Structure 1
Amino acid sequence: MSDNTSAGQGSWGVTRRGFIAGTGSLLGIAALSGRAAAAAAASAPPIADGAHVAALVIGTGYGGAVAALRLAQAGVNVHMVEMGMAWDTPGSDGKIFCNTREPDYRSYWLRTRTKAPLNYFLGFPIDRDIPRYTGILDAEEFAGITVYQGRGVGGGSLVNGGMAVTPKRENFGAVLPSVNADEMYATYYPRANAGLGVGTIDPAWFETTACYQYARVGRKHAQRSGFPFVFVPDVYDWDYMKQEAAGTVTKSALAGEILYGNNHGKKSLQKTYLAQAAATGRVTVSALHRVTSVAPAAGGRYTVVIEQLATNGDTTATKTVTADRVFFAAGSVGTSKLLVKLKATGALPALNGEIGKGWGDNGNVMCGRANHLWDPTGSLQSSIPCCGIDNWAAGGAFAEVAPLPTGIETFASFYLSITRNPNRAQFTWNAAAGKVDLSWQAAWKQPSIDMAKSIFDKINAKEGTIYRTDLFGIYKIWGDHLTYHPLGGAVLNKATDNYGRLTAYPGLYVIDGSLIPGNTTVNPFVTITALAERNIERIIATDL
């Protein structure tokens, strides 16, 4: 495929000029009735067996949402396929999402028992039995790690803390070495932050509100040990949170809503990119649909096999459709697993040997510290983190000061660290078991622990405090069994070209976190979004 930037009209019948003009409509985002527009697209009739679509997007997370919006603005009809639910219908309690403290059938993807990231408290296990259901959070277990992923229209934006961090410019070269940093920081990061609705907490309100006492304690301890402490942007509606604290609106962040969805204040993709995409009238979504195969078809098109799911996980129909172009946006794990399977089983045998490689956990590791009785962290804690401790340059760790929204005073500080962990795993096809395996080893978390200790050993020594040993098991200090931030598996400029094209198969693209080789130095979704903005702009300009 050519990388020339001519404005000629391609097979989709749109022009580059039309695309660039269309992107300006993002400024009208405030006028949209966010979730309603996205729900309208998701509630349209699902894709029909035998259908033909111009662009099929597999997944509705950050990369897929960007691709769908920009393609639609360029005049392309887009169909998005999402394995999870639409999350547009309240349950019997009148709420769409359940509370973190009271997980129910809506909480987990096809599990019969919860698997909370923090699954002990005061030494007692807190997981509980639940009905099997296509819930919002997938705790996908591999041999050496559990990977947490959002399931539903909006992907990971439904279940993350919303920390919207642009990496420091000096760290970017280690994240995406083949990408022009000047372009990213001048154009694509600003575009992503605008599209996502990123904002920062009011510092004056932060100083006085009860719900961030835990963060102020974290700041005090960090600064007394000489660590830089920073406010971190987020996609929560900070004005709404102020109203929550004032008691004038329904509580959401202040009701502990985060891990299993947030009912009000959080600006998930349903309210931003996906709402805009739906408003174009060119994007439809089939929820509870799972792609199982993509293979070349006549005329340069692709045959895509899709299973329709019931809420208990059963397959209720299998459909075969044809697409002119296919965008893999199922997330790092979903895209990588699918591509590895398709290569190994002969559906896409010419995919290159880098498929499945370069996967990392963004250096995630969790821990808690037991504070003194004169350092209470507050019984009311906002579930939305807003600040962190930056020891990246000296110790290879950035630590988010995270909430423990238990509703009671815990005298504890809790942290999710992102570290410069160098270990990378590979996805491979296990023919005997008929599934994809991941080569991550539990021992590979040790560098992350060591880097996190560069912060917390020093704070404990200064404050005369100790690590909590009751949050991840009995006498277990580190939450080193998980990641919230899967990255890699179809690395940019290795498994794909420098814009996400799977070059052996014209018309196939990767446009999600699988492009990023294992680490972003910060929470990754702004980088995933910005990279998708960069790549889709080039693809529309040159491939259409």
Structure 2
Amino acid sequence: MSRVLKRRQFLQGSLAAAASVGVSAVRASAVRTKEDYIEAIVIGSGFGGAVASLRLGQAGIETIVLERGRRWQITDAGDTFSTYQKPDGRSTWLSPTTVIFDQVPIDVYTGVLDIKRGNGIIAYRGAGVGGGSLVYNGVTYQPTQELFYQVFPRTINYEELDRVYYPRVRSILKPSQIPDDVLQTNYYLSSRIFLEQAAKAGLKARKLDMAVDWDIVRQEIAGQKVPSAITGQVYYGINSGAKNSLDRNYLSMAEATGKVEIRPLHVVTAIEESDKERFRIVCNQINEQGTVIAQKSFVCRYLFLAAGSIGTTELLLRAQANATLRRLNNQVGKFWGTNGDGVGAVITNGPTNPTQGGPAATVIEHLDNPIAPVVTEQLTFPIVPEGVITSVGLAIAKPEGYLTYNTSTQSADLFWPSNSANNQKNAQALEYTYQLLNQANSTTLAQPLDFSSTAHPLGGATIGAVCNTYGQVQGYRNLFVVDGSLIPGSTACTNPSFTIAALAERCMDRFLNRST
């Protein structure tokens, strides 16, 4: 058996993300507390929730952030997160096994990475104070105006986003490109090869803007910090502190206002209309093993939903099914998409150091692809053998997916038409890009492109369907969606985090400047 065939078989069994069904929080003898009133509540602390909490705090509005996950503070010992080599419960949200790479038995714990297994797709999402920023690659990527309007309505002014809101987010996340001295180390060999292969194929390639502290990466290289980014430890969290996750900027700034309190390990179970345009939020406080230790109820004047595409949509669908938000329309759960995510792996000649040098630092932009615009970003992958380079492709996925509420499980079911004409077109476009790379570099695909999972679930409470262009839910003056649920399936060949945050900044500006 040839070396290439062995690699193909290995990748076929490994790259497709194996996932286990998450374990629901176990109900114990919970104590129901009295109902508290708070001016504003934010559900979730990812990119939308972090923006909302900071701007509410700066406006002097008393705010509570309810986050289902725990807080993850970087330690001097460099042992905050689990590693790929020794995964434990910290890796995965309330599951008896890990959910990516290999299904390794672990203790059930409120870990950082969660999964939603749907019909036709698997969606990954973060859990913890900082949401998806704990487990993402730090890519801070702005779409072009032309592609933006292939997804979003013209009622959103791209020039205003470009002039005001993207720079505002950038000023806090402080993204930067990988410095040349770091890129030239052996840890980032795959990134250099990726750029070289693109140049040989005549494709545009460049460094990505990353929410990464490259000085800390330099300290890793010098042996002054635990090796983490340089060894590709991305999806369970980076122990050195090199990743500028939201808990270290937006959320810490929100808490510093003295008006914002973040409550980790609070799982929201219900949203109800109260009186006088107020809302009642019911939640379970859990411990780190998922056991319910208290049931709580809050009433607020302003409610901001930021639990991510899956979480926010599920809360709205449950409220609709239980008639606790009677004015929701029948568009809730629709217009969901995967951002066109597709994983590829190329077998090349010579060493690649494929498991090291993270997070994703380089991108090939093939926006003039004759089939459909695509980009592909080089990734580190802990299970990839030497001689293989992995990457993720992004395209413009039509919002053809949807979520419905399952009353028997009291959760949302996810559906994705994986073989739709648009998805096949995107797959062909990405394959065309890889063909150019392979022809120019004498490389080969290790396996067919894998579109079975997404790290970028988007939609379910979208602009123009469930919400207006400023995130206000139709029929409710004081209910807002500020996360990826707003976005109809795609952020136009870019990673969503930057656009989610920019749109949230725009939503909060309109909210704070309106007559209340």
Q: TM-score, normalised by structure 1?
A: 0.84
* Pair 1:240 & 2:216 matched: yes
Shift of 1:311: 2.1
Q: 1:442 aligns with which of 404, 418, 421?
A: 418
Contact 1:383 1:405 in 2 (8 A): no
SS in 1 for 2:89: coil
Shift of 1:139: 1.6
The one-character-per-residue Cα deviations of 1:251-302 (angstroms, maximum 9, x if unpaired) are 2201332111112111000111001001111111111111111111123211
CA separation in 2, counterparts of 1:379 and 1:198? 24
Contact 1:290 1:307 in 2 (8 A): yes
The one-character-per-residue Cα deviations of 1:163-213 (angstroms, maximum 9, x if unpaired) are 1101122222123222011210110010011111211122x3255221211
Quote the residue 1:147 is aligned against.
123
Quote the residue 1:334 is aligned against.
311
* Pair 1:506 & 2:477 matched: yes
* Alpha-carbon spacing, 1:259–1:154, altered in 2? closer, same or farther (3 Å): same
* Alpha-carbon spacing, 1:327–1:380, altered in 2? closer, same or farther (3 Å): closer
Quote the residue 2:55 is aligned against.
70
User: Amino acid of the residue matched to residue 443 of structure 2?
Assistant: T
Quote the residue 2:15 is aligned against.
none
Q: 2:135 aligns with which of 147, 153, 159?
A: 159
Unaligned runs of 5+ in 1: 1-45, 120-125, 470-476
User: Amino acid of the residue matched to residue 260 of structure 1?
Assistant: Y
CA separation in 2, counterparts of 1:144 and 1:255? 32
Shift of 1:507: 1.1
User: Which one is further off, 337-346 or 313-322?
Assistant: 313-322
Quote the residue 2:96 is aligned against.
112
* Alpha-carbon spacing, 1:131–1:70, altered in 2? closer, same or farther (3 Å): same
Shift of 1:457: 1.9
CA separation in 2, counterparts of 1:47 and 1:155? 27
Quote the residue 2:459 is aligned against.
488
CA separation in 2, counterparts of 1:416 and 1:313? 32
Q: 1:370 aligns with which of 335, 347, 354?
A: 347
User: Amino acid of the residue matched to residue 198 of structure 1?
Assistant: P
Quote the residue 2:254 is aligned against.
277
Quote the residue 1:384 is aligned against.
359
Quote the residue 2:490 is aligned against.
519
CA separation in 2, counterparts of 1:543 and 1:321? 24
Q: What pairs with 1:252-263 in structure 2 (closer than 5 Å)?
A: 252-263=228-239
The one-character-per-residue Cα deviations of 1:438-493 (angstroms, maximum 9, x if unpaired) are 22133345333222102112222332222224xxxxxxx33221100011111112
CA separation in 2, counterparts of 1:249 and 1:206? 15
Percentage identity across paired residues of the two chains: 34
Contact 2:32 2:294 in 1 (8 A): no
Q: 1:350 aligns with which of 327, 344, 347?
A: 327
SS in 2 for 1:147: strand
Quote the residue 2:277 is aligned against.
300
Shift of 1:47: 12
SS in 2 for 1:502: coil
Quote the residue 1:81 is aligned against.
66
Q: 1:463 aligns with which of 425, 441, 444?
A: 441
User: Amino acid of the residue matched to residue 518 of structure 1?
Assistant: G
* Pair 1:103 & 2:103 matched: no
* Alpha-carbon spacing, 1:515–1:423, altered in 2? closer, same or farther (3 Å): closer
Contact 1:421 1:447 in 2 (8 A): no
Contact 1:100 1:256 in 2 (8 A): no
* Alpha-carbon spacing, 1:539–1:498, altered in 2? closer, same or farther (3 Å): same
Q: What pairs with 1:40-55 in structure 2 (closer than 5 Å)?
A: 49-55=34-40
Contact 1:359 1:487 in 2 (8 A): yes
SS in 2 for 1:300: coil
User: Amino acid of the residue matched to residue 109 of structure 1?
Assistant: W
Q: TM-score, normalised by structure 2?
A: 0.89
CA separation in 2, counterparts of 1:319 and 1:240? 40
Quote the residue 1:12 is aligned against.
none
Unaligned runs of 5+ in 2: 1-30
* Pair 1:419 & 2:404 matched: no
Aligned length: 479
User: Amino acid of the residue matched to residue 128 of structure 1?
Assistant: V
Q: 1:360 aligns with which of 326, 337, 348?
A: 337
User: Which one is further off, 291-300 or 280-289?
Assistant: 291-300
* Alpha-carbon spacing, 1:380–1:260, altered in 2? closer, same or farther (3 Å): closer
Q: 1:289 aligns with which of 252, 257, 266?
A: 266
